[in-house]
Amino acid sequence: MGNQLSRFVDKFVTPYFSIQESEELYEGKSYFRMVSSPSVILCVLDTDDCFICVRQFRPNLGYITLEFPAGGMEGSESPLEAANRELLEETGFRADLLSLGSFRLQMNRTVNKEYLFFGLVTEQKSVQLKPEITGDCQVVKVPRKAFLGKMRGNAPFEQLAGFGIIQLASLLLETNFVSASYREIVESVKKAQKNNL
């Protein structure tokens, strides 16, 4: 089959995603994919050396999760515009954000891109936080040095892309986010901004 392109048609459409089908693959057997808008995910560190996370109920999972701020791009928003909007809506924070690039998750069944960002908090606004489907987001500050403890065992942080952002930021900023001091991270961000990373 190689790089052949297949024709997909909408089979189920919601305001958030659609399920599309192609019968051209696998000798007439139906193949389905999910299509949604591109989205952004942000790893943001505040001046207290804490990651800004949100706690929210996820109906599809049936429990409350701990995640980095994230959300879909709307209309003609650029990834950076969407990232700034989502961060403010979900947390009330503003940050200097660095783009870490765009990637895909679950490439076997989805086509949307995830735009990843790392940032340092610049200010906190008093805003009405954006309500999610079943309630408000609760902002949670997790000390960076304790963050790895949240990853072990049955930890509440399951956002795979969140781990990827930390690793990617460590590589691109040439700073180990696990062992570096807060000052070293700030200096690496300033250097990256100077070099237009």
Q: What is the pLDDT along the chain (197 residues), one digit of tens a residue?
A: 444 567 889 999 998 889 988 887 777 788 888 898 899 999 999 999 999 999 988 888 888 889 999 999 998 999 999 999 999 989 999 999 999 999 888 888 888 899 999 999 998 766 555 555 445 678 989 998 888 666 665 566 788 888 889 999 999 999 988 889 999 999 999 998 888 75
- What distance in Å separates the CA atoms of residue 9 and residue 57, rounded to the nearest whole number? 32
Q: Which CATH number fits the domain 37-194, given the four candidates 3.90.79.10, 3.40.50.880, 1.20.200.10, 3.30.565.10?
A: 3.90.79.10
Can you read off the two tokens belonging to residue 40? Answer: 């952004």
Can you read off the two tokens belonging to residue 60? Answer: 């599809």
* Phi and psi at residue 183, to the nearest 5°: -60, -40
- What distance in Å separates the CA atoms of residue 24 and residue 94, rounded to the nearest whole number? 47
Gyration radius from the chain CA atoms: 19
| Domains of the chain by residue range | 1-36, 37-194
- What distance in Å separates the CA atoms of residue 114 and residue 102, rounded to the nearest whole number? 5
Question: Which residues are CB-neighbours of 149 under 8 A, at least 6 positions away?
Answer: 155
What is this structure's pTM? Answer: 0.85
